[in-house]
């Protein structure tokens, strides 16, 4: 396939085929089975993923993404809130099952969007919608860096 080259900050050049990248995109899947503990180099991997993700396009350079690494207390509260929402929609058993699974996940990074001006539901050209789209791109880039 066609190749693209990009010079890195350290002077090396990475060559990636378009076909190989398309294959990665097409075969990407959500992971539901997590290792019980984070790898020893998780902090370095996290920094690398975030430092790449923040290059996501954002038209007005608002950089609306915010990354929140949750502590154990916040993880517990988020999991319980999510389980409550699932329970209301699908029943107590489904909520309990989700809570149990979520609490086994070893680390939680939450990505949020700083709310910009405008109503993204009513105005498709609003800065709020552009910011939301930028955060979606940021999360996508983050996932592919991990």
Render pLDDT for 35-93 as a digit per residue (tens, 0 to 9).
Answer: 889 999 999 999 999 999 999 998 888 999 999 999 999 999 999 999 999 999 999 99
Q: What is the mean pLDDT of residues 102-111?
A: 93
As given in the structure block, the two tokens for residue 23 are 């294959």
Calculate the alpha carbon distances from 34 to 1, 75, 127, 128 in Å: 34, 16, 36, 34
**CA nearest to 61, candidates 8, 117, 127, 17:** 127
pLDDT greater than 80 at residue 6 = no
Query: What is the band of 2 on the pLDDT scale with cuts at 50, 70, 90?
Result: low
Look-up of token digits 């984070």: 38
Q: What is the mean pLDDT of residues 91-113?
A: 95
Q: Is 129 exposed, middle or buried (0-12, 13-18, 19+ CB in 10 A)?
A: middle
3-class DSSP state of 15: strand
What pLDDT is stored for residue 10 in this prediction?
65
As given in the structure block, the two tokens for residue 114 are 């700083």
Taking the C-alpha atoms of residue 121 and residue 133, their distance in angstroms, rounded to an integer, is 13
Taking the C-alpha atoms of residue 144 and residue 142, their distance in angstroms, rounded to an integer, is 6
Dump the DSSP string for 49-71: HHHHHTTS--TT----EEEEE--
Taking the C-alpha atoms of residue 102 and residue 83, their distance in angstroms, rounded to an integer, is 9
What pLDDT is stored for residue 142 in this prediction?
92
Q: What is the mean pLDDT of residues 133-143?
A: 93
């Amino acid at each position: 396939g066609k190749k693209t080259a990009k010079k890195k900050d350290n002077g090396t050049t990475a060559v990636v085929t378009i076909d190989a990248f398309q294959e990665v995109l097409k075969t990407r899947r959500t992971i539901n089975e997590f290792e019980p503990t984070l790898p020893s180099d998780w902090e370095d991997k996290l920094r690398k993923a975030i430092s790449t993700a923040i290059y996501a396009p954002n038209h007005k350079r608002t950089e609306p993404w915010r990354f929140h690494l949750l502590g154990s207390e916040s993880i517990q509260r988020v999991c319980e809130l999510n389980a409550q929402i699932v329970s209301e929609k699908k029943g107590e058993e489904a909520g309990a099952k989700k809570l149990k699974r979520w609490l086994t996940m070893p680390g939680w990074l939450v990505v949020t969007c700083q709310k910009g001006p405008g109503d993204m539901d009513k105005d498709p050209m609003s800065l709020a919608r552009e910011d939301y789209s930028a955060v979606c791109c940021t999360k996508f880039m983050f996932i592919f860096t991990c």
